[in-house]
Chain A
Amino acid sequence: MSQADDMDGSADGDRVLVAEYVLGLLDAAEHQRMARRIADDPGLAAEQRLWRLRLSSLDNEFAEVTAPQSVMARLQNRLFGSTAASGGLVGWWNSLALWRGLAAGGLAVAVAAIGLNLLQPRVDVDSVATQLVAALQANEGSGVEFVAFYDSSTKAVRLLGLEGQQLAEKDYELWYIKGDEPAVSMGVIPVDKRTSIALDADAQSKFGEGTVLAVTLEQKGGSPTGKAQGPIVAVGKAMPI
């Protein structure tokens, strides 16, 4: 665009520049310069919204054309294909691959493979530590998965995120549900590192086989009401090991 223009600098000049920006008429350098100006100037940003909104009424003139199947296949592969687990000899608790396998393949096999006290005979519950594991699997394809491990001798739940991404402006919150009782919050949890959550006496008394653990997506800092408000992204039942 020529800078020697009678409209430069005037309000109309800027308005036209924004319209040209939205239409895509500016060259690369001018386009970038305008993008920066719009980012810095709420007036220009409002002007941009006006043009975008008004011009978007023309969108139904774009004809639909079916894309070849191969595009979706490549897309899926690119976005979700390589969820290769990071292996390494870092101990079973640190092994994402192991826990992914556990979550995906059912509990028994993996638990046996770890060699925990599976073959010990059941004895009086009070005389021995209760160990529970729950695989919190993705709900409706949310892509969020956790494994939770509870040991009554440490009075804590250890938690490991297997899949899922931290989202801006959102937090994951962990809940336990005993029977028909309402869900009780165990607090906000990180998705990208291991956590340990200490249980109070009330929670300890309620943790047992069949206790359900669920993760919901909540506003930053967790649900302000003490009740889950967001969607359940992962859910699983505690089982003894």
Chain B
Amino acid sequence: MVSNTTADIADLIARCALRDRKAFADLYQRTSAKLFGVSLRILKDRAEAEEALQEVYVKIWQRADRYVAGGYSPISWLVAVARNHALDILRARKPMTDDIDAALDVADAGPDPEQAALDKGERSRIDGCLAELEQAKADAVRGAYLDGFSYEELAARHNVPLNTMRTWLRRSLIKLRECLTA
């Protein structure tokens, strides 16, 4: 496996801003599996996810100069581009009637040791804060972030009325914010 240090990825993004095609190919090679995982998990359709992945890397090539080092880790920036693109697609095709339980079979990610070490502070923080919420509510927050579930989908999955889910989640977000900024 290719080692992906944060500095390597940041450097490749910077070189993409200099229109370095080789850096772009490297960046794709090192990060496309992650971003394909994001597209696939949210879109739940292989052909659509492939199409989305292509669009995502076009955006990355075109917007590489907007990545600002510091603050956000470079891989998180890339994940955000992929995640937001997938969510845009979901929003555009609403109202959706897809059977979400026919979702594809993607194994849960095992923890990536390097990323885990890198994120340890933040990671334990959000885990700790999510743990302060009731399990179902923490799951709803995760479902929205990781699976791109809408309020309707979350309500169906948790067997509660839509308005109840909204109230739940909004109160949970306020609590979560208090904990995260404490």
**Taking beta carbons and an 8 Å cutoff, which residues of A are in contact with B?**
1-2, 7, 12, 15-16, 19-20, 23-25, 27-28, 31, 49-68, 70-72, 74-76, 78-80, 140-144, 164-165, 167-170, 217, 231, 233
Contacts and interface: CB of A to CB of B under 8 A. Distances in A.
A20 B58 CA distance: 27
A16 B65 contact: no
Contacts of A60: 109, 111-112, 115-116, 119, 123
A232 B61 CA distance: 20
A31 B122 contact: no
Contacts of A71: 32, 36, 50, 53-54
Interface string B144-182: 111010110000000000010010011001101100110
A70 B51 CA distance: 11
A71 to B, nearest CB: 5
Nearest to A165: B19
Given A65-B106, A71-B32, A144-B19, A19 B173 contact: yes
Given A56-B72, A233-B19, 13 more contacts: A23-B144, A52-B76, A53-B72, A54-B180, A56-B79, A57-B125, A61-B146, A68-B50, A70-B50, A71-B54, A75-B28, A78-B58, A164-B19
13 contacts: A15-B173, A15-B174, A16-B170, A16-B173, A27-B91, A50-B177, A53-B76, A56-B80, A57-B119, A60-B115, A65-B40, A66-B32, A164-B19
B137 to A, nearest CB: 13
Given A28-B91, A60-B119, A67 B33 contact: yes
A42 B33 CA distance: 34
B122 A143 contact: no
Contacts of A231: 18
Contacts, number: 166
Contacts of B92: 28
Nearest to B24: A79
B133 interface: no
Contact of A63 (B37, B87, B126): B37
Contact of B41 (A20, A62, A74, A78): A62
A16 B144 CA distance: 14
